[in-house]
Structure 1
């Protein structure tokens, strides 16, 4: 995941500036796109709502009104054919047929998109289509003989139920379309549907009382249906009106406050109080019912149309009511996007040019001018800071100030490097002077100790002389370290090759507690004389470091093994080891090309670095299995000479000569031939 984010991150200055400036532009474009899509969606919804209204909602509403009227006329005619007007029924059925044709035409034109509007809509349309096509059969069932009252009541009840079922199927289609987004000019479709159901309840009341009035009595079933219809009508009408838009509430409030509705409500109350039977449909009780019911139904249908289908038909998809603030947001957003692009390109181009100039200047300083000046300083040559980094006058622009700051940093780096070079040169001279003086005195001291060791003495005195010899040898090694750090080769050396075993023992003899070092079997090879002094010094530094950082009761293991590329020597202690950071830092100091003479914490590592570099050795520290640290030194093949063929079982060294036999070994001067230069 981290690699993926790294790849996606812009690398060049141009890419970063473009990404920085394009982010707000892209964000603005995204907001504008969202506003544009939303506006287009609003327009599409308005267009689709108009199509749905003209093809389905309006034909369904007209069909429902015609069915309600035909239901009332058919119920009255079925209850008493003699008192009913056959011409009225015929005209009503003809009107219903006209609305049926319009309905079927609308269903056919929208059938392909029905499933997209609502998944349940196709089945409901199919059912309503079947109902419309079955009107002829329904009417035929009512025209049969109804010679007795019981037969007439049955036919009237059947007709009422059939017509009511058709209306419910029509409402099911309307309900499936209420989820479709309408226009802002129309009221909520669900509210209009509730008002339609309230009107249907009133139409049911009219049909029930028409059938009862024609038959001369209201049956128990008709009475129960009437009471239920009154309850539904009153429960839906007034609450639904309160949810309409204010401009659509006016027509309904006018109707609810009119005398026709009050008379209608009063008759409903009297019929409910009278109960089933002849009294419920007496002439005195139902006086004015037909006129009031017809007036209220017409008013409800008109108000319903104005609140729903008529409002949707009048809506303009591109008008202010539909677009409103979103249209202004789209226009202003487009202007903002164009201005943002123009400003971003202009500002970004200028910023990129300035940053690229600043980058090129910084790379010139860091890659060429400053390193060249540093190399001249390290070589001891003088550097004119004013010529190398002329100071610029501080400008008002921030990028120009950055350039001035870079010049100031360059001047500070050159000044610090010059001062450091002078300091290191002085320190190096002091090192050389002190080391030379100390070497003269130490050589004289070692000569005196050598003569004293040759005289006959008892064992205790000889051991004391050996200890003094060890201290003097260590002091001589430290003096040589000063010369090595100063870049000067020490004076001692050998002309002839020296066995590797003697070289290891000489290195061990240069530490204070040599008895703690155990030398294991050493390959029978010799080391070139010119490399012996440096290898002894290097190994002595590593062995002394191992003995210093391990408990006094533990042994320091010194091993050597022949490899194809040379000989590897391992110095292993049993100390507390080093953590990963300390180990990495130590190896970095051992392998670095530059030696910091001002870092006095681990001066021995820098000495080993200089010696290894001069002789072409490889030195590495690593954690040992015993918990301590192992220093591995690889002596290349070009510094070695085989004393005899190397075999696996021929590497041996007497236990009495390995430094672990319990006695104090002889000093280095007694182990190998005297060095030249002493």
Structure 2
């Protein structure tokens, strides 16, 4: 485990180095050069192009990183996001830098902030263990900050050389940068591995670094104010040479050593690598033996898996669909019970077959139960229909002979009750898939259809019918439309306060007629509305679900006539049921009998349209 962990750490360190550390370091160097160019007013365009290329490489490295940033350091994702935001803001910083005099302390601060955010990312990445070939990552980071301090000196003196003056603020920043550089550089070099100290020591002992220190001392002694050219003599060449040397030494000490590390070298594997190799050989031998011994077992498992998948994905769903469609299923043919050998796999196969047979048997018994229930529904509904139609005929005859308004009103109330009973009887036929007996040969005015629907509910006076388009419904669809609207109107009246009105509206639209039934009840939440609309739109109707039978009736009628029905929340807080009658069910001509109907306002609308040509019951 130790060897595997070492290999993993080395590989991860190489990935982090290639994808994040190296692009961040190159980006920092580019921003340092751009800052110096911006403050000196020389070559900002070229420096900006170099920075953009480094920023693009940094973005590619972040996107391509195979390491989870949060696993390396909890704060790393936020630091990377902040650095990316800084990269996007560089264009705004450049736009603020105009000609030579535009380089201000604000420009210096903005560039320096970007570099500090880049160091924050590097600091989070140095929490990883790295490789044995590289020096301690924290020491390398201190050396990078020392290089940044010298880069700040270069930028500040470049601005002073361009303007000829070193302001008090610039002087303070310069003195701070010098102190930081001297405090970090030599002590950090002493903490490096011996293999990496030589490059740094050569810089510290060189003439370039001595010349840099001399200029630093002269500027600090002169203080703020005018900066003679003699004070900065040799500064540009010396500082550039030292910065380039520091960059090369830093790369060799950190990212360069990590990139060259071999995860499978002797330094990583060590003596324990031999034990690992021997262990791997033993594992391979055991796997070979296992494959040879278990080959037949694997074949049997694959056959068993394929058989189970075929049953679950094809055979069982097909059988269920046939049962739901009312077709019989031979259980023995679908799932033959085989007596297999007594090993464990055979027993599993037998158990799967038993499960399949049990599922088919349960579905078959349920289908038979539904068929029986449907037969009972049909038988009871047919008997009730015969009696109710005879009752309605008798009531119609009594209404025509009766002259007393009070008695006639009572007869109308009984007529309403019988009409509602007939609708409930027809609901049983509809749920059983049987067309109800009522039907009309001739078109019926839409206004009569709406009145007939209202006449089939208990609280008919609570329903307010608004202006209705002068269109008619084709005779073959009248019964289903009346029944569907009656279910929706009754539901609206039942679930709204008794003191409120149920609004029934109809409007001619481009492709048909839109009818809306709106109540002022307490409404339904989104889940309840979605569930109700699913029951209305579903292709299957579960007759054993005793809740909201009216919605299942609406479902069957909608499907049979090709209507569109939807429940939605109304602006007043209740529920609106929208019914769309397609153009094929509508006629724009009005029946001749409409004029006669308008003079018979007391009679139930159901009785009126019965006298307009009902084909039979």
Deviation digits for residues 604-638 of structure 1, max 9, x if unmatched? 11111111111111111111111111111111111
Aligned mate of 1:525, from 465, 471, 479: 471
Hey, what's the Cα distance between the residues in 2 that align with 1:635 and 1:28? 76
Give, in angstroms, the shift of residue 462 of structure 1: 1.9
Kindly indicate whether residue 614 of structure 2 is the aligned counterpart of residue 675 of structure 1: yes
Q: CA, structure 1 residues 405+31, in 2 after alignment: closer, same or farther (shift >3 Å)?
A: farther
Give, in angstroms, the shift of residue 532 of structure 1: 0.4
Hey, what's the Cα distance between the residues in 1 that align with 2:588 and 2:481? 17
- 1:121 equivalent in structure 2: 201
Q: CA, structure 1 residues 611+346, in 2 after alignment: closer, same or farther (shift >3 Å)?
A: farther
Aligned mate of 2:505, from 545, 559, 569: 559
Hey, what's the Cα distance between the residues in 1 that align with 2:527 and 2:344? 40
Hey, what's the Cα distance between the residues in 2 that align with 1:431 and 1:41? 81
- 2:429 equivalent in structure 1: 483
- 1:90 equivalent in structure 2: none
Give, in angstroms, the shift of residue 394 of structure 1: 8.2
Matches within 5 A, 1:560-575: 560-575=506-521
Q: CA, structure 1 residues 626+355, in 2 after alignment: closer, same or farther (shift >3 Å)?
A: farther
The residue matched to 1:374 in structure 2 has which SS?
A: helix
Hey, what's the Cα distance between the residues in 2 that align with 1:115 and 1:665? 111
Give, in angstroms, the shift of residue 382 of structure 1: 3.8
Deviation digits for residues 556-599 of structure 1, max 9, x if unmatched? 11111122221111111111111222211111111111111111
Hey, what's the Cα distance between the residues in 2 that align with 1:35 and 1:388? 59
Kindly indicate whether residue 401 of structure 2 is the aligned counterpart of residue 455 of structure 1: yes
Give, in angstroms, the shift of residue 670 of structure 1: 2.6
2:446/2:471 contact within 8 Å kept: yes
Kindly indicate whether residue 276 of structure 2 is the aligned counterpart of residue 333 of structure 1: yes
The residue matched to 1:595 in structure 2 has which SS?
A: coil
1:376/1:383 contact within 8 Å kept: yes
Q: CA, structure 1 residues 666+409, in 2 after alignment: closer, same or farther (shift >3 Å)?
A: same
The residue matched to 2:333 in structure 1 has which SS?
A: helix
CA-based RMSD of the aligned residues comes to 4.3
Give, in angstroms, the shift of residue 41 of structure 1: 6.6
Give, in angstroms, the shift of residue 402 of structure 1: 5.5
- 2:577 equivalent in structure 1: 631
Kindly indicate whether residue 440 of structure 2 is the aligned counterpart of residue 360 of structure 1: no
Kindly indicate whether residue 523 of structure 2 is the aligned counterpart of residue 580 of structure 1: no
- 1:437 equivalent in structure 2: 383
Give, in angstroms, the shift of residue 453 of structure 1: 1.3
Kindly indicate whether residue 560 of structure 2 is the aligned counterpart of residue 622 of structure 1: no
Hey, what's the Cα distance between the residues in 1 that align with 2:345 and 2:436? 54
Q: Which runs of 5+ in 2 are unaligned?
A: 14-129, 136-192, 211-252, 254-265
- 1:242 equivalent in structure 2: none
TM-score of the two chains, using structure 2 as the length reference: 0.54
The residue matched to 2:362 in structure 1 has which SS?
A: helix
Hey, what's the Cα distance between the residues in 1 that align with 2:3 and 2:286? 13
Q: CA, structure 1 residues 328+619, in 2 after alignment: closer, same or farther (shift >3 Å)?
A: same
Give, in angstroms, the shift of residue 328 of structure 1: 2.9
Q: CA, structure 1 residues 326+601, in 2 after alignment: closer, same or farther (shift >3 Å)?
A: same
The residue matched to 1:494 in structure 2 has which SS?
A: coil
- 1:497 equivalent in structure 2: 443
- 1:608 equivalent in structure 2: 554
- 2:455 equivalent in structure 1: 509
The residue matched to 2:270 in structure 1 has which SS?
A: helix
Kindly indicate whether residue 419 of structure 2 is the aligned counterpart of residue 473 of structure 1: yes
Give, in angstroms, the shift of residue 468 of structure 1: 1.1
2:470/2:589 contact within 8 Å kept: yes
Q: CA, structure 1 residues 444+403, in 2 after alignment: closer, same or farther (shift >3 Å)?
A: same
1:36/1:330 contact within 8 Å kept: no
Kindly indicate whether residue 536 of structure 2 is the aligned counterpart of residue 590 of structure 1: yes
Deviation digits for residues 469-514 of structure 1, max 9, x if unmatched? 1111010011111111111111111101111111111111111111
Hey, what's the Cα distance between the residues in 2 that align with 1:471 and 1:342? 87
